[in-house]
Amino acid sequence: MKNIIIASTSTVHGSGYLDYIVNDLERFFEKAQTILFIPFARPSGISHDAYTEIARKGFQKINKRVIGLHEYENKAEAIKTADAIFTGGGNTFVLTYQLYKNNLISLLQEAVYGGIPYLGTSAGSNICGLTIKTTNDMPIVYPPSFNALALVPFNINPHYLDPDTSSTHMGETRGTRIREFHHYNTPPVVGLREGSWIHVKGQSIILKGDLSARIFEYNKAPYEVFPGTELNHLK
Amino acid sequence: MKNIIIASTSTVHGSGYLDYIVNDLERFFEKAQTILFIPFARPSGISHDAYTEIARKGFQKINKRVIGLHEYENKAEAIKTADAIFTGGGNTFVLTYQLYKNNLISLLQEAVYGGIPYLGTSAGSNICGLTIKTTNDMPIVYPPSFNALALVPFNINPHYLDPDTSSTHMGETRGTRIREFHHYNTPPVVGLREGSWIHVKGQSIILKGDLSARIFEYNKAPYEVFPGTELNHLK
């Protein structure tokens, strides 16, 4: 049974790494001694080792051991035998490129469908959607495909931002970009604000956190859904 | 001899379409009766016809006729015989996809190297760089390559934005994203603020407009260059 947390961000303004969600993660990772960390998204280009160290410190708070996937020679085996998996944020294109390069896409899908708890933050959440076509990241490397893990029947837009009505900037708002997405693609998009997450448990897909999320469906005006809402009807 | 204007945006806050640059465009397009408009980037997903109408109205101010490239059955011939070319903004991935799909990349390069004046704004400027890897746009379609027209020896980041020091948002700043680009790519990036443009004339590449631009070079601290600066040393 799928058991997934898809979080908008690892960190909310003014608090430490994963702090806002750590109590929920303690329950979520209850049965896991060790968390396999996928550091491939490399935020700000930091090394896999340095990034894994950040995750390690974050999970010390709830007494979990963290091992970086890059530390394993046999990455397929590491995923198959993991207690739990956490993919951190950074650049979604870099992450996707590395997952394809290491032939890990279907292995990760099998692991998650097989019941291994999966946590994603930011880029690690983007890849839970059908495609990475609603990432906010810069396309700094060319992945072999934009198709992602498709663990939920929609796309994710993490770090969702409402339009800044005081701005004089002429670049597109997030909402405009997602509307452009719907000129070429039909899947729904969940705009997940920082501090929000989605908990997938089997067939259930529930919005969590204190904030509402913005839902963009094809040929429909965008609308808000509130914490506790079941999202498994979206498709 | 190359003759190119690479503009950050079509419109600056508080003024009309192309208004801020229209006097320079009148000189730039002096010898052109008709401008071939490439509407493929479709901002907000508007139709090729509707987008061409916007460009047409914009160029009425300086008495130029505008024809959309989509109106031609034989697009290759339209490019080869154009007086001048203008590629408008919108989504860079959609634009790049369409250029590849219609086999127009090398034709556009030949046209520009052959001396046909080329104006790009926003996405139309992004494609003047080596690759589209420093676009701000959402990857809503998957182009066959991120390689662009390479009309200048660097990449462009249009709508360049300084970090908002009052923001509580945890998404990456533009500067962070460009630094991430340099973990995987070595070409310089010109962060072109709204209201700035670059005029390429033969070997010369001059920053124009009232604002400075931010230059990001591999393994170097970013720095500002001021209007009138010759950028042809960047590579």
B196-215: pLDDT as tens digits: 999 999 999 999 999 999 99
Quote the minimal CA–CA distance from A1 to chain B in Å.
31
Residue B13 backbone dihedrals phi, psi, to 5 degrees: -50, 130
On the 0-12 / 13-18 / 19+ scale of CB atoms within 10 A, B165 is exposed
| pLDDT higher than threshold 90 for residue A124 | yes
pLDDT of residue B169: 81
pLDDT of residue A167: 82
| pLDDT higher than threshold 90 for residue A169 | no
| pLDDT higher than threshold 90 for residue B7 | yes
Residue B91: both structure tokens together? 């989504």
Other Cβ atoms closer than 10 A to A234: 17
Average pLDDT, chain A: 96
Q: Model confidence at B77, in pLDDT bands (50, 70, 90)?
A: very high
Contact B135 A132 (CB under 8 A): no
CA distances from B192 to B44, B112, B119, B130 (A): 22, 21, 15, 15
Average pLDDT, chain B: 96
With vertex at residue A118, the alpha carbon angle to CA A115 and CA A123, rounded to the nearest 5 degrees, is: 150
Longest dimension (CA), chain B: 51
Q: Domain residues of chain A, as ranges?
A: 3-225
Nearest partner of B85 among B55, B119, B115, B56, judged by Cα: B119
Residue B6 backbone dihedrals phi, psi, to 5 degrees: -110, 100
pLDDT of residue B70: 98
Nearest partner of B9 among A176, A166, A170, judged by Cα: A170
Contact A180 B146 (CB under 8 A): no
For the segment B142-188, what is each residue's pLDDT rounded down to a tens digit? Answer: 999 999 999 999 999 999 988 887 788 878 889 999 999 999 999 99
Percent of chain A with pLDDT over 90: 93
pLDDT of residue B235: 85
Residue B54 backbone dihedrals phi, psi, to 5 degrees: -65, -45
| pLDDT higher than threshold 90 for residue A170 | no
Q: Averaged over B134-148, what is the pLDDT?
A: 98
Residue B28: both structure tokens together? 């730039």
Other Cβ atoms closer than 10 A to B23: 11
| pLDDT higher than threshold 90 for residue B18 | yes
Q: Model confidence at A165, in pLDDT bands (50, 70, 90)?
A: confident
Hey, which residues of A are catalytic here? 122, 137, 159
CATH 3.40.50.880 fits A3-225, yes or no: yes
For the segment B85-119, what is each residue's pLDDT rounded down to a tens digit? Answer: 999 999 999 999 999 999 999 999 999 999 999 99
With vertex at residue A14, the alpha carbon angle to CA A170 and CA A51, rounded to the nearest 5 degrees, is: 85
Q: Model confidence at A163, in pLDDT bands (50, 70, 90)?
A: confident
For the segment B118-128, what is each residue's pLDDT rounded down to a tens digit? Answer: 999 999 999 99
Contact A133 B141 (CB under 8 A): yes
Helix intervals (H) in B165-230: 174-181
pLDDT of residue B144: 98
pLDDT of residue B171: 80
Residue to mutate among B18, B180, B218, with most A CBs inside 10 A, is B180
B153-164 burial, b if ≥16 CB within 10 A, otherwise e? ebbbbbbbbeee
- What whole-number distance in Å separates Cα of residue B52 and Cα of residue B48? 6
User: Residue A170 in 3-state DSSP?
Assistant: coil
Residue B17 sits at the chain A interface (C-beta within 8 Å)? no
